[in-house]
Amino acid sequence: MGKLFGTDGIRGVANRYPMTPEIALKLGAACGHLFKSKDKERVVIGRDTRISGEMIEGAIQAGITSAGVDCIKVGVLPTPGISYLTRALSAKAGIVISASHNPVEDNGIKFFGPDGYKLQDKVELMMEEEILGERSRFISPVGTDLGQVSEIKDAAERYIEFLNRSISSSLDLIGLTVAIDCANGSTSGVVPRLLEDLGAKLIILNANPDGKNINLNCGSLYPEVMARAVRDSGANLGLSLDGDGDRLIAMDENGQVVDGDKIMAICALHLKERGNLSNNILVATVMSNIGLERALKPAGIKVIRTKVGDRYVVEEMQKKGANLGGEQSGHLIFLDHNTTGDGTVTALQLLSVLREENVPLSELAKKMKRFPQTLINVRVRDKTNLTDLLEVMEAITKAENKLGEEGRVLVRYSGTEPKARVMVEGPTAEETEVLAKSIAAAIEKEIGE
């Protein structure tokens, strides 16, 4: 990727480079100029609940309108909702101001094209060149050629209508008790209303955003919060979303985690049985547990792996004609319903399977046996090529030789944070932990922050 854009847009500490109003202003202008045509185009812009969201939103919309492009504000809305409205409103682009699952001090900017898919790398690099260049290639308009700002007041209602169209009209959740953790994020005003309308009895957690509490010890990164709530309440299942609503981690009735891999296995097998899994393919990333392949192979489902990042999953799904893919983190893409990861669509699909198969979530989760996997994140001061780190490569080789064909080792840098991610999969939890710690220690020694 480039100097500003990572695997999911631009992300960093809000009001610190590159997440400053100055960069946001230039980014809005670059976006406006690149998407401008003879007609006055429109760009949709929305955000999550962070305190810095309005600051960045104001700067971006100033940049967009300075390029002679109109800006449509949709307010606080989940990332996939902004993707949907970009398509529905025939906008030239959609902009999301969110740092997803990151803490409140961070924020980010990511883009959707007019088709609702995330922008290709080459388009982002064109914007980056415009921002970092000494002189703009474009002439700024004046007078009546400037863009204008408008606002859609019923964006959440439009998104809820769209979500209802993604499920069978016969689906009802009457008799189900569902615990929901909205991470004090952008699903807080959407998911409770949607599930309540479907008849579920709700136990609602962390749906009172105040600008400062997004992802604060809650949401999909803190499944223990949901585990406690499910066990204490006797709920049939729990659903934990992240701050921008593009991922989901579930909890069965016993308080056991059902992660993205298991949700993919459940949904892939269900779709396959009904002849609705396109080309009998599931697209996952290199981080997905090897147990996913073992669960799907007997059903004739092929698992294709990509590098980490939902944009790469979507690209591979399009190439292979797949309609289901995703990540272990709970970032699932149902292309029959939306063009990007959508935690609420995922929740609805999982609930539909639960209703159709009429068994507890714990039974559905048994469709996949998870192999022991240890994941360690190490903060780093720079992202030196791993092959140039002799002690790290020695630790990796040692682990691979130890595991042989009974496991996997994956070491990579995060695309959005200054971290190295170490993943080791093997026959026992003890062995994977020991090997992962040895690699992490080598990274810490050579390039640790």
- Say how far residue 23 (Cα) sits from the centre of its chain: 23
Is the CA virtual torsion 159, 88, 92, 332 positive or negative? positive
- Tell me the pLDDT tens digit for each residue of 265-278: 999 999 999 999 99
Query: Given a cut of 80, is residue 416 above it in pLDDT?
Result: no
In sequence order, the β-bridge partners of residue 283 are: 304, 325
**Known catalytic residue at 100:** yes
Query: Given a cut of 90, is residue 441 above it in pLDDT?
Result: yes
Per this entry, what is the length of the chain? Answer: 449
Query: Given a cut of 60, is residue 181 above it in pLDDT?
Result: yes
- The DSSP 8-state label assigned to residue 299 in this structure reads G
Q: Which of 100, 186, 329, 352 is catalytic?
A: 100
Query: Given a cut of 70, is residue 222 above it in pLDDT?
Result: yes
314 by DSSP, 3-state: which?
helix
Distance CA 116, CA 53 (A): 21
Q: Name residue 334's amino acid.
A: F
Q: Which is the CATH superfamily of the domain at 159-255?
A: Alpha-D-Glucose-1,6-Bisphosphate, subunit A, domain 3 (3.40.120.10)
Q: Domain 258-342: which topology?
A: Alpha-D-Glucose-1,6-Bisphosphate; Chain A, domain 3 (3.40.120)
How does the average pLDDT of the chain come out, rounded?
Answer: 95
257 by DSSP, 3-state: which?
strand
Q: Name residue 296's amino acid.
A: L
Residue 2 has a pLDDT of: 63
Residue 390 CB contacts under 8 Å (≥ 6 apart), including other chains: none
Is the pTM here over 0.85, yes or no?
yes
**The tokens of 317 are what?**
């799904």
Distance CA 44, CA 278 (A): 31
Domain covering 373-447 in this structure, CATH number: 3.30.310.50
Span 30-45, average pLDDT? 89
In sequence order, the β-bridge partners of residue 423 are: 375, 410
Distance CA 207, CA 177 (A): 17
Do the domains 10-153 and 258-342 sit in the same CATH topology, yes or no? yes
Element (H, E) at 31: helix 21-35
Query: Given a cut of 60, is residue 300 above it in pLDDT?
Result: yes
Q: What are the structural domain ranges in the chain? A: 10-153, 159-255, 258-342, 373-447
Domain covering 10-153 in this structure, CATH number: 3.40.120.10
DSSP for 422-449 reads EEEE-S-HHHHHHHHHHHHHHHHHHHB-
Say if CB 55 and CB 21 are below 8 A apart: yes
Q: What percent of the chain has pLDDT over 70?
A: 100
